[in-house]
Amino acid sequence: MVTSAIWKLYFTNWPAGLPRGGVLVTSHNEAIPFRKFWLKDELLLLERTAPDANGGRFLLLGFDLIDSVKFTNPLSEATIAEAGFVASDAESLLQTV
């Protein structure tokens, strides 16, 4: 389980090469497409790509409600590395040591 502190760290250090949007999935299994976000303390403010059924364009939620984030744009290997991820194959792992 990913903690709220890890989600906060990821959003705070969002890779520069990655557009600031995607689909956030909450712990309540709600998928929220977003195109921008802002941070304040333990809160994340999302701008939805389209208003929800009630006309809401912005959503404010705590990092503890984030279950996963889906990226809707293609990711390059450079962007993935910039985000701190390493390849899972043994050869690539050995090269990073």
pLDDT tens, 26-39? Answer: 999 999 999 999 99
Q: What is the pLDDT of residues 1-22, one digit of tens each?
A: 689 999 999 999 998 888 899 9
* pTM metric for this prediction: 0.83
DSSP for 52-90? -TT---EEEEEGGGEEEEE--S---HHHHHHTT---SSH
The 58-62 sheet, strands edge to edge: 58-62, 43-48, 31-40, 22-26, 66-70
Q: Mean of the per-residue pLDDT values for the chain?
A: 90
- Report domain extents, the chain: 4-96
Report, at the CATH architecture level, how domain 4-96 is classified: Roll (2.30)
Q: Which two tokens stand for residue 58?
A: 């912005």
Does an H or E element contain 59, and which?
strand 58-62
Q: What is the pLDDT of residue 16?
A: 87
